[in-house]
Amino acid sequence: MTRAAIITRVLKPVLYLAAILPFAWLLFALLTGLVMGDEVKFMQHVTGDTALSCLMLTLAVTPLRRLTGWNEIIKVRRLIGLTAFWYACLHLSTYLVFDQSLSVDEILRDIVKHPWVLVGFTAFLCLVPLAVTSTTGWVRRLGGKRWQRLHRLVYVAAIAGVLHYFWLVKKDVTFPLAYGSVLLILLASRIWWSRDKARAKRAPRKTAAPEPSEGLALNEAERP
Protein backbone atom coordinates (compact mmCIF):
# COMPACT_ATOMS: atom_id res chain seq x y z
CA MET A 1 0.00 0.00 0.00
CA THR A 2 1.38 3.39 -1.00
CA ARG A 3 1.69 6.32 1.38
CA ALA A 4 -1.10 8.14 -0.42
CA ALA A 5 -3.34 5.08 -0.04
CA ILE A 6 -2.55 4.91 3.68
CA ILE A 7 -3.71 8.53 4.01
CA THR A 8 -6.94 7.92 2.09
CA ARG A 9 -7.90 4.47 3.36
CA VAL A 10 -6.55 4.47 6.90
CA LEU A 11 -5.56 7.81 8.36
CA LYS A 12 -8.46 9.92 7.12
CA PRO A 13 -11.18 7.48 8.33
CA VAL A 14 -9.43 7.29 11.72
CA LEU A 15 -9.32 11.09 11.92
CA TYR A 16 -13.00 11.40 10.98
CA LEU A 17 -13.86 9.00 13.79
CA ALA A 18 -11.57 10.83 16.22
CA ALA A 19 -13.23 14.13 15.28
CA ILE A 20 -16.66 12.80 16.22
CA LEU A 21 -15.69 11.10 19.50
CA PRO A 22 -15.42 14.20 21.75
CA PHE A 23 -18.86 15.41 20.64
CA ALA A 24 -20.32 11.93 21.09
CA TRP A 25 -18.81 11.70 24.58
CA LEU A 26 -20.20 15.15 25.40
CA LEU A 27 -23.73 14.18 24.41
CA PHE A 28 -23.51 10.82 26.16
CA ALA A 29 -22.27 12.35 29.42
CA LEU A 30 -24.98 15.03 29.40
CA LEU A 31 -27.85 12.71 28.48
CA THR A 32 -26.93 9.97 30.96
CA GLY A 33 -26.26 12.25 33.92
CA LEU A 34 -22.57 11.44 34.17
CA VAL A 35 -21.70 15.11 34.67
CA MET A 36 -21.64 15.69 38.40
CA GLY A 37 -20.69 19.37 38.41
CA ASP A 38 -21.52 22.38 36.26
CA GLU A 39 -22.75 21.09 32.89
CA VAL A 40 -21.92 24.34 31.10
CA LYS A 41 -18.35 24.27 32.38
CA PHE A 42 -18.12 20.63 31.31
CA MET A 43 -19.25 21.50 27.76
CA GLN A 44 -16.79 24.38 27.59
CA HIS A 45 -13.98 22.21 28.89
CA VAL A 46 -14.55 19.41 26.36
CA THR A 47 -15.04 21.68 23.35
CA GLY A 48 -12.20 24.04 24.30
CA ASP A 49 -9.70 21.26 24.94
CA THR A 50 -10.62 19.53 21.69
CA ALA A 51 -10.31 22.75 19.66
CA LEU A 52 -6.91 23.55 21.15
CA SER A 53 -5.65 19.97 20.73
CA CYS A 54 -6.68 19.95 17.07
CA LEU A 55 -4.99 23.31 16.57
CA MET A 56 -1.75 21.89 17.95
CA LEU A 57 -2.08 18.85 15.67
CA THR A 58 -2.62 21.16 12.70
CA LEU A 59 0.63 22.95 13.47
CA ALA A 60 2.42 19.62 14.00
CA VAL A 61 1.74 18.39 10.45
CA THR A 62 4.50 20.46 8.83
CA PRO A 63 7.28 19.51 11.31
CA LEU A 64 6.24 15.87 11.00
CA ARG A 65 6.39 16.10 7.22
CA ARG A 66 9.86 17.61 7.36
CA LEU A 67 11.17 15.06 9.84
CA THR A 68 9.78 12.00 8.08
CA GLY A 69 9.70 13.08 4.44
CA TRP A 70 6.09 11.89 4.32
CA ASN A 71 4.77 14.75 2.18
CA GLU A 72 1.39 13.10 1.64
CA ILE A 73 0.48 13.69 5.28
CA ILE A 74 -0.20 17.32 4.43
CA LYS A 75 -3.51 16.09 2.99
CA VAL A 76 -4.95 15.59 6.50
CA ARG A 77 -4.20 19.14 7.68
CA ARG A 78 -7.43 20.64 6.36
CA LEU A 79 -9.49 17.96 8.11
CA ILE A 80 -7.76 18.55 11.45
CA GLY A 81 -7.93 22.32 11.07
CA LEU A 82 -11.64 22.34 10.28
CA THR A 83 -12.25 20.05 13.26
CA ALA A 84 -10.50 22.65 15.42
CA PHE A 85 -12.78 25.35 13.98
CA TRP A 86 -15.90 23.25 14.52
CA TYR A 87 -15.14 22.70 18.20
CA ALA A 88 -14.16 26.35 18.60
CA CYS A 89 -17.64 27.23 17.28
CA LEU A 90 -19.22 24.89 19.83
CA HIS A 91 -17.03 26.34 22.58
CA LEU A 92 -18.05 29.89 21.72
CA SER A 93 -21.71 28.90 21.37
CA THR A 94 -21.85 27.45 24.89
CA TYR A 95 -20.45 30.72 26.24
CA LEU A 96 -22.83 32.94 24.26
CA VAL A 97 -25.96 30.88 24.86
CA PHE A 98 -25.56 29.35 28.32
CA ASP A 99 -23.26 31.81 30.07
CA GLN A 100 -24.51 35.09 28.61
CA SER A 101 -27.98 34.18 27.28
CA LEU A 102 -27.09 35.95 24.02
CA SER A 103 -27.12 39.31 25.83
CA VAL A 104 -24.89 41.73 23.93
CA ASP A 105 -24.59 44.02 26.96
CA GLU A 106 -23.47 41.15 29.20
CA ILE A 107 -21.00 39.92 26.63
CA LEU A 108 -19.45 43.39 26.21
CA ARG A 109 -19.20 43.84 29.98
CA ASP A 110 -17.55 40.44 30.30
CA ILE A 111 -15.03 41.30 27.59
CA VAL A 112 -14.07 44.50 29.41
CA LYS A 113 -13.93 42.80 32.82
CA HIS A 114 -12.11 39.58 31.89
CA PRO A 115 -9.11 39.70 29.51
CA TRP A 116 -9.34 35.97 28.77
CA VAL A 117 -12.71 36.54 27.09
CA LEU A 118 -11.21 39.10 24.70
CA VAL A 119 -8.27 36.80 23.97
CA GLY A 120 -10.65 33.91 23.33
CA PHE A 121 -12.67 36.00 20.88
CA THR A 122 -9.41 36.98 19.16
CA ALA A 123 -8.44 33.33 18.72
CA PHE A 124 -11.84 32.49 17.25
CA LEU A 125 -11.88 35.47 14.88
CA CYS A 126 -8.46 34.41 13.57
CA LEU A 127 -9.81 30.96 12.76
CA VAL A 128 -12.80 32.25 10.77
CA PRO A 129 -10.90 33.44 7.64
CA LEU A 130 -8.75 30.32 7.77
CA ALA A 131 -11.80 28.07 7.68
CA VAL A 132 -13.50 30.14 4.97
CA THR A 133 -10.42 30.09 2.70
CA SER A 134 -9.52 26.45 3.34
CA THR A 135 -10.58 25.22 -0.09
CA THR A 136 -8.51 24.81 -3.23
CA GLY A 137 -10.64 27.44 -4.94
CA TRP A 138 -9.59 30.05 -2.41
CA VAL A 139 -5.92 29.17 -2.88
CA ARG A 140 -6.35 29.94 -6.58
CA ARG A 141 -8.27 33.17 -5.93
CA LEU A 142 -5.78 34.54 -3.42
CA GLY A 143 -2.63 33.14 -4.98
CA GLY A 144 -0.19 30.95 -3.10
CA LYS A 145 1.81 33.72 -1.40
CA ARG A 146 -1.17 35.76 -0.24
CA TRP A 147 -2.93 32.61 0.92
CA GLN A 148 0.09 31.59 2.97
CA ARG A 149 0.39 35.05 4.51
CA LEU A 150 -3.26 34.98 5.51
CA HIS A 151 -2.93 31.52 7.02
CA ARG A 152 -0.14 32.66 9.30
CA LEU A 153 -3.05 33.82 11.45
CA VAL A 154 -3.02 30.26 12.74
CA TYR A 155 -0.04 31.24 14.91
CA VAL A 156 -1.98 34.12 16.43
CA ALA A 157 -4.96 31.84 17.02
CA ALA A 158 -2.82 29.21 18.73
CA ILE A 159 -1.02 31.71 20.97
CA ALA A 160 -4.29 33.44 21.86
CA GLY A 161 -5.93 30.09 22.57
CA VAL A 162 -3.19 29.08 25.01
CA LEU A 163 -3.32 32.48 26.75
CA HIS A 164 -7.11 32.23 26.97
CA TYR A 165 -6.81 28.85 28.68
CA PHE A 166 -4.02 30.01 31.01
CA TRP A 167 -5.86 33.13 32.19
CA LEU A 168 -9.15 31.28 32.48
CA VAL A 169 -8.04 28.64 34.99
CA LYS A 170 -7.80 29.75 38.58
CA LYS A 171 -5.43 27.27 40.23
CA ASP A 172 -4.22 24.24 38.30
CA VAL A 173 -2.34 25.47 35.22
CA THR A 174 -0.94 22.06 34.30
CA PHE A 175 -2.88 21.70 31.06
CA PRO A 176 -2.38 25.29 29.86
CA LEU A 177 1.36 24.95 30.49
CA ALA A 178 1.39 21.65 28.60
CA TYR A 179 -0.30 23.27 25.60
CA GLY A 180 2.08 26.21 25.87
CA SER A 181 5.11 23.91 25.90
CA VAL A 182 3.90 22.05 22.81
CA LEU A 183 3.26 25.35 21.04
CA LEU A 184 6.74 26.65 21.89
CA ILE A 185 8.31 23.50 20.46
CA LEU A 186 6.26 23.77 17.27
CA LEU A 187 7.10 27.45 16.81
CA ALA A 188 10.78 26.87 17.62
CA SER A 189 10.95 24.13 14.99
CA ARG A 190 9.67 26.56 12.37
CA ILE A 191 12.17 29.25 13.38
CA TRP A 192 15.02 26.73 13.25
CA TRP A 193 13.92 25.43 9.87
CA SER A 194 13.60 28.96 8.45
CA ARG A 195 17.11 29.86 9.60
CA ASP A 196 18.50 26.59 8.27
CA LYS A 197 16.80 27.21 4.93
CA ALA A 198 18.23 30.76 4.80
CA ARG A 199 21.74 29.42 5.47
CA ALA A 200 21.31 26.78 2.77
CA LYS A 201 20.30 29.45 0.26
CA ARG A 202 23.44 31.46 1.00
CA ALA A 203 25.69 28.41 0.65
CA PRO A 204 26.53 27.11 -2.87
CA ARG A 205 24.60 23.94 -3.55
CA LYS A 206 23.14 21.84 -6.33
CA THR A 207 19.67 22.65 -7.58
CA ALA A 208 17.13 20.49 -5.77
CA ALA A 209 13.56 19.63 -6.56
CA PRO A 210 11.15 22.14 -4.99
CA GLU A 211 9.53 21.15 -1.72
CA PRO A 212 5.74 20.77 -1.65
CA SER A 213 4.04 24.03 -0.74
CA GLU A 214 3.11 24.27 2.89
CA GLY A 215 0.06 26.26 3.71
CA LEU A 216 0.62 27.30 7.29
CA ALA A 217 -2.88 26.59 8.45
CA LEU A 218 -5.94 24.66 7.49
CA ASN A 219 -5.75 23.93 3.78
CA GLU A 220 -4.54 20.63 2.37
CA ALA A 221 -4.07 21.92 -1.16
CA GLU A 222 -0.73 22.83 -2.61
CA ARG A 223 0.06 26.14 -4.20
CA PRO A 224 -1.49 26.36 -7.66
What does the pLDDT profile of the chain (224 residues) look like in tens digits? 888 888 889 999 999 999 999 999 999 999 999 998 899 999 999 999 999 999 999 999 999 998 888 888 999 999 999 999 999 999 999 999 999 999 999 999 999 999 999 999 999 999 999 999 999 899 999 998 999 999 999 999 999 999 999 999 878 899 999 999 999 999 999 888 888 777 777 776 555 444 444 444 554 444 33
Domain ranges of the chain: 3-196
Contacts of 122 (CB under 8 A, 6+ apart): 156, 157, 160
Q: CA 201, CA 110: separation in Å to the nearest integer?
A: 50
Distances in Å between the Cα of 50 and the Cα atoms of 19, 47, 88, 164, 223 are 9, 5, 8, 14, 29
Give the predicted TM-score (pTM) of the model.
0.86
